[in-house]
Amino acid sequence: MTRSLNLDPVSLSVRTEPTVKGASTTGTSVRIDVLTIFPGILEGFLNESIVRIAREKGLLEVVLHDFRQFAEDKHRTVDDKPFGGGPGMVLKPEPIFACLEALIAKDQQPPRMLLMSPCGSTLTQKRMREFAKDERLVILCGRYEGYDERIKLGWPFEEVSIGDYVLSGGEVPAMVVIDSVARLLPGVLGHDLSALQDSFEGPLLDHPHYTRPADFRGMQVPAVLLSGDHSKVAAWRKQQALERTQVRRPDLLRGDARRGPDAGQV
């Protein structure tokens, strides 16, 4: 059964029982299923800004699955102590397998599956663009010290990280992926060129931006931007982007291998 939250006009489904009966089969561009024991973390996020617009336009569907509901014991246990000892708790395989089996068995085409973890490969704009082309994504959000390794052996997960820092769970990283994918879907942004002009869509960081007033507390907008000369504006922006990239992210210009598998293709 589905618990419908009061998030009109676009209602958000949180599946809280061990079934996916009634899963939507609407013709949206991308459907993202998120497995989490804290669906509430994502609820407000899904109902605001670009993600909300993508959902309202029918271009994005997000379904939250509380995999705790698939635990079979009285206390709905999702974690346990690690074999071999050590601190923290580890996510058990059974509830996650049961949730995935209920979700995926009926799929004709297997979805792309992402497992959020600081041990994964670091995400880039290029990976996000690939995800935005998928019709179906499944995102598994971990908690505690980690996942039982058999979850990764039993399912074709791509283990991904949003950066070299540790968060308390995969929900925030899942929101990062959803936001990034939503704004890449054709028709979501008012101006489709906006996404293409972002930092990381080309080899350079984005140039500085200004809006009115031309003089704010004595700080002037660069004269070239007021000149009306489009080619001079374009040249100025390119130069600024280059200087900014040289100072802040010289690795992008070098195609530095430390940036991982997408090096040279930001």
Indicate which residues carry an active-site annotation. 118, 145, 183, 198
- Binding of residue 116 to ligand ADE (CB under 6 A): yes
Q: How far is it, in rounded angstroms, from Cα 55 to Cα 185?
A: 11
Sequential DSSP letters for 149-167: HHHHHHS-EEEEESSSS--
The stretch near ligand ADE (CB under 6 A) out of 48-56, 103-111, 146-154, 167-175 is 167-175
Q: Which residue has the tokens 């040279």?
A: 264
* Alpha helices (runs of H) in 92-199, residue ranges in sequence order: 93-104, 125-133, 149-154, 171-184, 193-197
Tell me the per-residue interface mask from 9 to 28 with ligand ADE, x by CB under 6 A, - otherwise.
Answer: --------------------
- Binding of residue 117 to ligand ADE (CB under 6 A): yes
Question: Nearest approach, Cβ of 119 to ligand ADE (angstroms)?
Answer: 8
Kindly state the helix (H) or strand (E) to which residue 262 belongs, with its residue range.
none
State which residue, 146 or 203, has the beta carbon closest to ligand ADE. 146
Q: How far is it, in rounded angstroms, from Cα 165 to Cα 119?
A: 10
Among 165, 215, 218, 219, binds ligand ADE (CB under 6 A): 165
State which residue, 8 or 164, has the beta carbon closest to ligand ADE. 164
C-alpha triplet 231, 234, 240: angle, nearest 5°: 140
Give how far Cα 36 sits from Cα of 64, 69, 139, 167, Å. 7, 10, 9, 15
* Residues 213-252 contacting ligand ADE, CB under 6 A: none
Q: How far is it, in rounded angstroms, from Cα 99 to Cα 37?
A: 12
Count the site residues for ligand ADE by CB under 6 A.
11
The stretch near ligand ADE (CB under 6 A) out of 72-80, 89-97, 113-121, 213-221 is 113-121
Among 7, 167, 221, 242, binds ligand ADE (CB under 6 A): 167
Q: How far is it, in rounded angstroms, from Cα 261 to Cα 33?
A: 26
- Binding of residue 162 to ligand ADE (CB under 6 A): yes
Tell me the per-residue interface mask from 120 to 139 with ligand ADE, x by CB under 6 A, - otherwise.
Answer: --------------------
State which residue, 83 or 165, has the beta carbon closest to ligand ADE. 165
Q: How far is it, in rounded angstroms, from Cα 147 to Cα 159?
A: 11
Question: Residue 242 contacts by C-beta under 8 Å, 6 or more apart in sequence?
Answer: 204
Question: Nearest approach, Cβ of 79 to ligand ADE (angstroms)?
Answer: 15
Q: Which residue, 58, 64, 70, is CA-closest to 25?
A: 58
Region of residue 187 (phi > 0: left; psi between -120 and 50: alpha; otherwise: beta) = left
- Binding of residue 170 to ligand ADE (CB under 6 A): yes
Question: Nearest approach, Cβ of 44 to ligand ADE (angstroms)?
Answer: 20
Among 173, 175, 183, 184, binds ligand ADE (CB under 6 A): 173
Among 40, 58, 163, 187, binds ligand ADE (CB under 6 A): 163
Residues that bind ligand ADE (CB under 6 A): 116-118, 161-163, 165-167, 170, 173
